[in-house]
Structure 1
Amino acid sequence: MNACKVLVVEDDPDINALLAKIMARDGFSVASAFSGTEALLRLEREAFDLVLLDLMLPGMAGSDLVARLRGEQGSDVPVVVVSARAGLSDKVDLLALGADDYIVKPFEPDEVSARVRAVLRRYRKGVRASADVAAADDPVFVRGALRLETAARRVVLDGVEIALTAHEFDILRVLMESPDKVFSRERLYELVWKAGYYGEENAVNVHVSNIRKKLAAVDPDGEYIKTVWGIGFKLA
């Protein structure tokens, strides 16, 4: 676990420093953020293995950050909440949002260490199990020079690997799985975001636009996603 990178999100400098010290003592690489917005920015730009998160933060509350990560960001990075809120409803609400564990302040350093390691063990076990399932049934979709590998979540165009976000990858996979089918924006949203559709067509449009831009950076003349006006999108 020594290679793991932990983001400590806590606005109190002393508590932030203490949590960072605990993580560094256990051999983790540590970065710190002092507001919810700063944490979101760092999570968008860097890869972390775990987040230690306070709830009462300037800029963006910790609960909102968890909701963003699990919702539109599509991130499964483990999140351990460290909060002074000790009520059962607070714990239940955060776990329901997608937090992986909840530690109440004041905390013991050894408890933080133990819980972080337990969460990382569970997460890695789940990743290995998912990989084993995918390896048993690992469809690869090819359309001309475009190749999508589902288990590796890898997209290659003309031999160049394309870096897609989780939602961008899932949209492209849906389209490549059924290359002759036209998908409405509503249906794409339901399949990719796993949620009911409430007019969020702009979210689908933005992600499709991003996919097109990334593919065009490698093949400017290629058309890979076709807009079917009045309906939605299909593979070109």
Structure 2
Amino acid sequence: MYKEHILVVEDDVDINNLITKTLKNREFQITQAFSGSEASLQLSICEFDIILLDLMLPGIIGEELIKQIRTIKEIPIIVISAKTSLQDKIKVLNLGADDYITKPFESEEIIARVNSQLRRYRKFDMQLNKNKDYKFKELTLDEESRQVKVKNIDLELTAHEFDILCILLKNPNKVYSREALYESVWKNGYYGEDNSVNVHVSNIRKKIKEISLDEEYIKTVWGIGFKLNNKNL
């Protein structure tokens, strides 16, 4: 079983592979990106727990990627760069990066910084989400009590159905791939043949429709996955 999902963004193949190998040895799940554009695409279709980011990238440069990420989500960003000046460090930290590692680096430093940021964000999420309700159209979800209502009528969901709906509600503008949903809910690897996500989403839709006939809550994004059906976005 994998631990957190990390996006490694580095155009140097050898360095990217070194960081990836180091983190995989600690049982982290890794997705590699070799340009800013590829990283932006991965962020649009998958959910990550932390990002390791080079600055001098083809396509979208690291600084611009940090700006993009900070407009849509709070996620730990650790910059790993050959830029060593104080001005460069201050600039990216002010843009929204959480930490800065200069090249060359030691593998153990990468592990220590990753673990430190994950601990900090876990505490932040616990405080932020404590007793938090999520609302979309006529549906409300209480994460702590695991209770869902549509038009103030209780919606009976299985544990996995609740978890999928909760993920979608937390990020209503985001498209989630089937792979990302499977790995987040079932906590293990997705091999492309499991139909569990489709079945559970279909069940959620049916249960909601029994109460709210005139609204579609979950939209299929063909070729990618699912998102909330917000027609204004």
TM-score between the two structures when normalised by the length of structure 1: 0.61
2:139 is matched by which residue type in structure 1? L
SS at match of 1:76: coil
Question: Where does residue 21 of structure 2 map in the other structure?
Answer: 21
C-alpha separation between the residues in 1 aligned to 2:143 and 2:23? Answer: 34
Amino acid in the other structure paired with 2:102: V
How many pairs does the alignment contain?
171
Q: Partners in 1 of 2:89 and 2:120 — Cα distance?
A: 19
Q: What's 2:36 paired with?
A: 36
1:9 corresponding residue in structure 2? 9
SS in 1 for 2:52: strand
| Residue 140 of structure 2 corresponds to residue 147 of structure 1 | yes
Indicate the SS of the match to 1:126: helix
Q: How far 1:75 sits from its partner (Å)?
A: 1.3
- CA–CA distance in structure 2, aligned partners of residues 37 and 106 of structure 1: 24
TM-superposed CA distance for 1:29, in Å, is 1.1
Aligned sequence identity (%):
41
Q: Deviations over 1:178-222 (max 9, x none)?
A: xxxxxxxxxxxxxxxxxxxxxxxxxxxxxxxxxxxxxxx966745
1:127 to 117, 125, 147: 125
Task: Identify unmatched segments of 5+ residues in structure 1.
Answer: 170-216, 225-236
Q: Distance in 2 between matches of 1:87 and 1:78?
A: 22
Partner of 2:98: 100
**Superposed CA offset, 1:143-173 (max 9, x none):** 7x43254879x9865749483574759xxxx
Q: CA RMSD in A?
A: 3.5
Task: Return the alpha-carbon distance in structure 1 between the equivalents of residues 23 and 100 of structure 2.
Answer: 16
Conservation of the 8 A alpha-carbon contact between 2:133 and 2:140 = no
Gapped regions of structure 2 (runs ≥ 5): 158-164, 175-207, 218-233
What is the alpha-carbon distance in structure 2 between the residues aligned to residue 109 and residue 55 of structure 1? 19
Q: Where does residue 91 of structure 1 map in the other structure?
A: 89
What is the letter of the counterpart of residue 21 of structure 1? Answer: K
Query: Secondary structure in 1 aligned to 2:79?
Result: strand
Matched residues in 2 for 1:87 and 1:38: separation?
Answer: 27
> Aligned pair 1:70/2:63, yes or no?
no
**Larger RCO, structures 1/2 (Cα 8 Å, 6+ apart):** 2
CA distance in 2, matches of 1:44, 1:4: 18
Residues 19 and 130 of structure 1: CA distance in aligned 2, closer, same or farther (over 3 Å) = same
Corresponding position: 1:56 with 2:49: no
User: Over residues 58-83 of structure 1, what are the superposed CA-to-partner deviations in whole Å (9 max), with x where a residue is unaligned?
Assistant: 11001111100101xx2112111000
